[in-house]
Structure 1
């Protein structure tokens, strides 16, 4: 089986962050969104194909030509728009995992669909189905079709953008027509595929993190930090540092004297914190950062290579 990751979009709702960084390589808890998923699927696929367009060189620079020994190939999406357009023109001879590159999925959920005997899609139970693309299923969880934002209740299992198909999906994608909004929709291809093959809805059992807006980055970091059960210390802690919580202190990072940490915190490689810095709430500090004397940071995300000068306060913010 091969994997196709859709990573060509501009991520306009995440601006201004995506003005410089394409959404799939925005970092959450010290790791890019796309890498959070790659670490869970690479064992099950023979090749990873990433569909790129917007700022594609940035994605290539981060991911490279292989991931944990698995070949990575890049295909540039043409000027056609839509998730269906992303797979038009591709021809594969093996089953394929197709997934959005801008959401984070749980390890076991991805394992389940990768090892599925047959074809299917991950689905999340939602409270307001009229706001989502909803799978209409039968009593055995077999998908009949997907309906975008249904006006009448047909179910409450939402499409989250992870699918396992046979190679026939590429033939189907060539035949779909433009939607009313002028895009080729992968949901149209799903509906045709579901008429031909048994296509199963697999309910998510783990948390699904959709990073749609800037504030979702804070929520995503908070999720990982709240689930941090044990500190991992690879950096240096000077005397006089107080830590009330669990932290990840990456290689080369330094906590200088007088620094006080209250809550769970992530600190990236080679970042220098302090002296006399106060970190609280769920805070993530990226790589190669310098947090100066007497700085206070609360519930925030500090990007790589950021300098926060002395006597500053940052709260509930995304910087860098």
Structure 2
């Protein structure tokens, strides 16, 4: 049996993190999203077909042709026309029965095993706001319908994006009409196939969705809940480490620094002196966190420099960003309400009481920059010394 990972699309809802990279290559707790899914497949399938499109060469360069003993085959979706269209690209390579998953959310091995107990199956997860999701309609454990973000949902079973299918799906994909958003939807084809054969609906628990930039923080928190620390770097005298903390190879933590786990710090970093790294923080490789910096509940990319006396809270910082001294991320509204952020021109409630900023790769802040909660800075953009960022910088 083999598996298909759909990783061809360009995610605009997760801008500015995915302007120049596919969402499957975002890092959570210092590990690429797609690698969590490859690890979940390990031991369950013999090979993986990855459908690529946007930034395909980045994915190929990162993964190569083999992962932990599993052969990797790449199928190209030249034009991104939806999940059904993407699966057609993998048709020449799949077995009679095969597994399908999205490449940009995180799933568990236990949930995959549950689906594989059936010849054909889809995954489902009960949600409190079903009108925000694609919804399965189920009777006696079998798929009986599908609705995409219905105003009046008939079910609370969201579709996380895991499937066990047979090659019978392909004629149904070919007969699809474009959806209102101009795509050929795999879920509609599955719904049509369910009229011919039994497709079981399996409720899962380990789904970590990443739909918006701030979902990276939620994913990071969940992964770190089970993290077990290991220290490989050099720790100077006078450093305090509490809880589950991992410190990578050739990383130096200077005197006076205080680190409260769960925390992951990558390889070849310099931390301190006198830094405070608070819980649920991930810091990538080749980072320099200077004197008097406090970081809390944040995801810091590779090659990031955070200069002295800065505060980064509840934020996602892309690769190779330079945070100038005295940069402050505000992360809390005065009224205590959840922070909102604009996505594609629409104001979205993040449902997070605390949320700082999202900064795209290669951006730079000027000294003394202040960033309002929920504001974002696009890749390569800059701020002036003393600038107050009240709106997204695009």
Q: TM-score range by the shorter chain?
A: over 0.9
Aligned to 1:35: 35
SS at match of 1:248: strand
- Which among 224, 240, 243 is matched to residue 242 of structure 1? 240
Q: Contact 1:40/1:111 (CA < 8 Å) preserved in 2?
A: no
Residues 1:310 and 1:152: Cα distance change in structure 2 (over 3 Å):
closer
Aligned to 1:264: 262
Could you tell me how far apart the structure 2 residues matched to 1:268 and 1:290 are?
Answer: 11
Could you tell me how far apart the structure 1 residues matched to 2:317 and 2:153 are?
Answer: 42
Deviation at 1:255, TM superposition (A): 1.7
- Which among 108, 111, 116 is matched to residue 110 of structure 2? 108
**Are 1:121 and 2:122 matched, yes or no?**
yes
Could you tell me how far apart the structure 2 residues matched to 1:173 and 1:260 are?
Answer: 55
Aligned to 1:20: 20
Residues 1:197 and 1:252: Cα distance change in structure 2 (over 3 Å):
farther
Q: Contact 2:118/2:200 (CA < 8 Å) preserved in 1?
A: no
SS at match of 1:88: helix
**Are 1:96 and 2:98 matched, yes or no?**
yes
Could you tell me how far apart the structure 1 residues matched to 2:205 and 2:17 are?
Answer: 30
Q: Could you say which structure has the higher helix fraction?
A: 1
Aligned to 1:313: 311
SS at match of 1:86: helix
Deviation at 1:80, TM superposition (A): 5.1
Deviation at 1:257, TM superposition (A): 1.6
Q: Contact 2:231/2:248 (CA < 8 Å) preserved in 1?
A: yes
Aligned to 2:390: none
Could you tell me how far apart the structure 2 residues matched to 1:214 and 1:150 are?
Answer: 24
Q: Contact 1:291/1:309 (CA < 8 Å) preserved in 2?
A: yes
Q: Contact 2:135/2:153 (CA < 8 Å) preserved in 1?
A: no
- Which among 223, 229, 232 is matched to residue 230 of structure 2? 232
- Segments of structure 2 that go 5 or more residues without pairing to the other structure are 319-394
Spell out, residue by residue over 1:66-119, the C-alpha distance to the aligned partner (whole angstroms, 9 max, x if none): 111211111111325111110225233421111111101123112222x32311
Could you tell me how far apart the structure 2 residues matched to 1:31 and 1:119 are?
Answer: 31
Q: Contact 1:80/1:184 (CA < 8 Å) preserved in 2?
A: no
SS at match of 1:150: coil
SS at match of 1:13: coil
- Segments of structure 1 that go 5 or more residues without pairing to the other structure are none
Q: Contact 2:254/2:271 (CA < 8 Å) preserved in 1?
A: yes
Could you tell me how far apart the structure 1 residues matched to 2:128 and 2:256 are?
Answer: 47
Spell out, residue by residue over 1:14-38, the C-alpha distance to the aligned partner (whole angstroms, 9 max, x if none): 1111112211000001111111111
Deviation at 1:280, TM superposition (A): 1.2
CA RMSD of aligned residues (A): 1.7
Could you tell me how far apart the structure 2 residues matched to 1:319 and 1:151 are?
Answer: 35
Residue range with higher mean Cα deviation, 195-204 or 143-152? 143-152
Larger RCO: 1 or 2 (CA < 8 Å, sep 6+): 1
Residues 1:289 and 1:264: Cα distance change in structure 2 (over 3 Å):
same
Q: Contact 2:251/2:270 (CA < 8 Å) preserved in 1?
A: yes
TM (normalized to structure 2)? 0.76
Spell out, residue by residue over 1:169-213, the C-alpha distance to the aligned partner (whole angstroms, 9 max, x if none): 12321222222332111112101211222111111133x211111
Q: Contact 2:53/2:80 (CA < 8 Å) preserved in 1?
A: no
Residue range with higher mean Cα deviation, 307-316 or 153-162? 307-316
Q: Contact 1:211/1:220 (CA < 8 Å) preserved in 2?
A: yes
SS at match of 2:13: helix
Residues 1:180 and 1:219: Cα distance change in structure 2 (over 3 Å):
closer
Could you tell me how far apart the structure 2 residues matched to 1:311 and 1:65 are?
Answer: 44
Aligned to 1:134: 135
